[in-house]
Amino acid sequence: MGDEHENLPHVVVLGGGFGGLQFCKHLKGHCRITLIDRTNHHLFQPLLYQVAMAGLSAPEVAEPIRSIFRHDRRITVLMDTAERIDLERRRVVLSTRDIAYDYLVIALGGGVHYFGNDHWEQHAPGLKTLADALRMRRMILTSFEKAENCDDPDERRRLMNIVVVGGGPTGVELAGAMAELTRQVFKRDFRRINPAEAKVILVEGGDHLLDTYPVDLSLKAAEQLESLGVVVMFNHRVVEVTDACVTLDDGETIPTRNVLWGAGVHANPITRTLGIELGPGGRIPVEPDLSLPGRPDVFAIGDIVTLRDPNRVLVPGVAPAAMQMGRHVAALIDEDLGQRLGAVRARKPFVYVDKGSMATIGRKRGVAWVGGLKFSGLLAWLTWLGVHLIFLIGYRNKLAVLLSWFYSYVAFKRGARIIFNAARSAAADSSTPPQTSAPGAPVASGGSAATIETDG
């Protein structure tokens, strides 16, 4: 950043997800911006499950943050970890330095929530980062390779059972993609096992899937999963996860080496350094304008926030909400920067605009609720494909994803079925499992981190 920017108001943004990117793109005021993320890339999380299920490679769902803002000289991008926020001194403590701010935007997102059972993480990876997706993919592919070599029928059954925990969008999409992977993609690849005999089990604690969707769409989602061969278990909760089985609250034990976790999200642990009372899941209770109570210079956006807007709508932790929040805060800070010194004004509250929800369940299967219209099956699937292509960052990524989808549709194949560093990664998984924390939180190094650079 040139010297001409040094004396301008300094806006610090923590997190390069949907909210952080939208904020930086829409902030037009005369200021300098420092965007901090613990990775060097923006991740398109809605397609992350396709990386985990070998449908896409990692570079196709990520874009270097520096590349996104290469033409905006106001923006400095730092790859660093935010460890603590000092509200009194108006500074962010990073792993390498402290950085002062005039305005702070916390857009760090959430991490995987195991409801007090964090030790389950070593056996049941969640899905928040590229490392998570590659670890999950490696676990599934390795299990089927081991099953091909296994003569013990009980162990082969454990290797070919897949338990997905949680009936939200992540769980539904993982279960559908996993069923297609075993029944359509693997069926010509193996000789000693029949991949179609693999059992995909979705465990949901409530009595329906996708609890934020209309009931009829939830029923449609369950029907479409069952048509793929997925066993959906309602009103069951997981009480124990080991490397060999999952135990449910009714005492039933499911033998499996593959548990995919999609059951909960908690806020980035940096919220605990703010010294304020937090909401459910460690989320920040913000003012109507998205600022922290008593801190008009500090904003929080995305699924790190708990808020009911003026219409009494509980703002969901989804990408469209984070993007709307980012644009709203950018407009407020622009107004602040344009005010005469000492001028006082009332800030506009954030109002969430629900543009709909959709989830894909597999090839020509999905559910969508857009503009009051509800539809499922092929139309929902096509709508999902189109919307996600539109919002995917980078023209190269759009083309690569479109070609991958076309190839998968025509050939019933997945092109990203490569296991990287299997022996080394298996040792890393058994000793020091990769962390699934949110952007901005510390990350342990290990086998899965190394695969990110080579996947593609």
Whether 294 and 330 map to the same domain: the answer is yes
Residues of the chain with confidence (pLDDT) below 50: 1-2, 422-423, 425-456
Check residue 413 and give its pLDDT: 59
Cα gap 284→271, rounded to integer Å = 7
Whether 22 and 165 map to the same domain: the answer is no
Check residue 344 and give its pLDDT: 55
Residue 328 covered by a domain: yes
| Backbone phi, psi, residue 427, to 5° | -65, -40
What does the block give as tokens for 242?
């080991």
CB 209 within 8 A of CB 220: no
Whether 403 and 369 map to the same domain: the answer is yes
- Check 60, 63, 121, 173 and give the catalytic one: 173
Whether 437 and 318 map to the same domain: the answer is no
Whether 219 and 321 map to the same domain: the answer is no
Whether 434 and 323 map to the same domain: the answer is no
Residue 104 covered by a domain: yes
Whether 316 and 369 map to the same domain: the answer is no
CB atoms within 10 A of CB 125: 28
Residue 100 covered by a domain: yes
Whether 131 and 225 map to the same domain: the answer is yes
Please tell me the pTM assigned to this model.
0.85
Residue 74 covered by a domain: no
Cα gap 223→201, rounded to integer Å = 14
Amino acid code (one letter) for 56: L
Whether 233 and 169 map to the same domain: the answer is yes
Write out pLDDT tens, residues 395-453.
667 777 777 766 665 555 555 677 876 445 444 444 334 443 343 333 333 333 333 33
Amino acid code (one letter) for 421: N
Whether 108 and 145 map to the same domain: the answer is no
Residue 346 covered by a domain: no
Q: What is the count of structural domains for the chain?
A: 2
Domain CATH number, residue 290: 3.50.50.60
The strand pair at 284-285 and 161-165 is best described as unpaired
Which one of 305, 338, 371 terminates a domain?
338
Check residue 432 and give its pLDDT: 39
Check residue 409 and give its pLDDT: 55
197 belongs to the catalytic site: no
Residue 70 covered by a domain: no
Cα gap 387→5, rounded to integer Å = 37
Structural domain that includes position 95: 3-38+80-112+266-338
Residue 50 covered by a domain: no
Q: Coil, strand, or helix at residue 132?
A: helix
Domain CATH number, residue 198: 3.50.50.100
Cα gap 136→131, rounded to integer Å = 9
Whether 254 and 289 map to the same domain: the answer is no
Write out pLDDT tens, residues 110-122.
889 999 999 999 9
The strand pair at 258-261 and 75-79 is best described as unpaired
Residue 64 covered by a domain: no
Which one of 284, 311, 338 terminates a domain?
338
Q: How far apart are the first and last CA of the chain?
A: 33
Check residue 450 and give its pLDDT: 32
Cα gap 249→247, rounded to integer Å = 7
Whether 256 and 403 map to the same domain: the answer is yes
